[in-house]
Amino acid sequence: MNRRDFNRYLIALGASSLLIGQKVWAKSYITFEQAKKIMWQDLEMVPFEYKMNKDQMKRIKENSKTRVRNNVLKGVKSSSNDFLIADQVIGKHEFIDVAVGINSTGTIRGVEILTYRESYGDEVMNQKWRNQFLGVSSNEILELDDQIKNISGATMSCRHITDGINRLTHTWKEVLQYI
């Protein structure tokens, strides 16, 4: 981007901040397929989907002390029961996509953030109002610019990710190891 384009971009950025609505900043990292390659290399894995029943979800919630939002487990698995799960956790306001690798013994092999989303600015001041829009696809999604790839000064705690990993460890104990 040259200087003129960049200035135009700044003006556009300024103008867009005057619009009423939710602006969600998204940053995409590796894809689910790349995460599979990084964690399991060429190991053959096939897609799977499993629908948990209410009892299973309740037990996972009790044991992990974390809310189970989704009853569908999705990802890929190997013939020897290694898993890569496509999961979502909620950050401060928005969903964050995560790939979590689980070894056949139930230990965590790796965690990769796939897409990070976050809202900034005045539109997030009223959190209660914002919460009703969680994950709603009508939010305006702005990909971080090619030139400006980082945000400084937003030290967000990764506690939600830690809780999500804990939930998946208990999901393995309750469900995945028997699939």
Residue type, 169: T
30 binds other proteins (CB under 8 A): yes
26 binds other proteins (CB under 8 A): no
Binder of other proteins out of 17, 70, 107, 131 (CB under 8 A)? 17
User: With respect to other proteins, which residue has the nearer C-beta, 148 or 179?
Assistant: 148
For residue 101, give every residue at least 6 positions away whose Cβ sits within 8 Å of its Cβ, in sequence order, or none.
35, 39, 40, 82, 83, 84, 85, 108, 109, 110, 111
Per-residue contact flags (x/-) with other proteins for residues 77 to 116, judged by CB under 8 A: ---------------x-----------------xxxx--x
Nearest to 95 by CA among 26, 166, 10: 26
Q: Are 60 and 137 in contact (CB under 8 A)?
A: no
In the complex, which residues of this chain contact other proteins (CB under 8 A)?
10, 13, 17, 25, 27-30, 37-38, 92, 110-113, 116, 120-122, 124, 144, 147-159, 161-162
